[in-house]
């Protein structure tokens, strides 16, 4: 089983090597339409992410953000870091 340090290292590697952003900042930037997975837009996505923070996440990043080229960005992947 991976240690918390190994899990955080994996998350940090994914954040560094893909189009990523701190998830709340990314969702609140209204220059483009954004959502997580199949959720209906930023508002519903932020509500979901609040649940992740309520479960003790310290930081949450949207990773592997897909830019569709038509004023819409989406990702079905988030990485959370529970402790620093």
End-to-end CA distance of the chain: 19
Give the pLDDT confidence score for residue 2 in this predicted structure.
85
Average pLDDT of adjacent 10-residue blocks, the chain of 84 residues: 84 90 94 92 94 90 89 88 60
Give the pLDDT confidence score for residue 79 in this predicted structure.
80
Give the pLDDT confidence score for residue 20 in this predicted structure.
93
**Facing residues of 35 across strands?**
74
Q: Give pTM, 2 decimals.
A: 0.82
């Amino acid at each position: 089983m991976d240690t918390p340090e190994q899990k955080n290292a994996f998350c940090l590697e994914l954040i560094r090597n893909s189009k990523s952003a701190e998830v709340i900042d990314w969702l609140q930037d209204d220059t483009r339409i954004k959502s997580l997975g199949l959720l209906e837009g930023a508002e519903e996505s932020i509500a979901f992410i609040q649940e992740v923070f309520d479960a003790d996440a310290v930081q949450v990043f949207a990773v592997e953000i897909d830019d569709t080229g038509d004023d819409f960005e989406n990702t079905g992947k988030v990485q959370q870091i529970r402790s620093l």
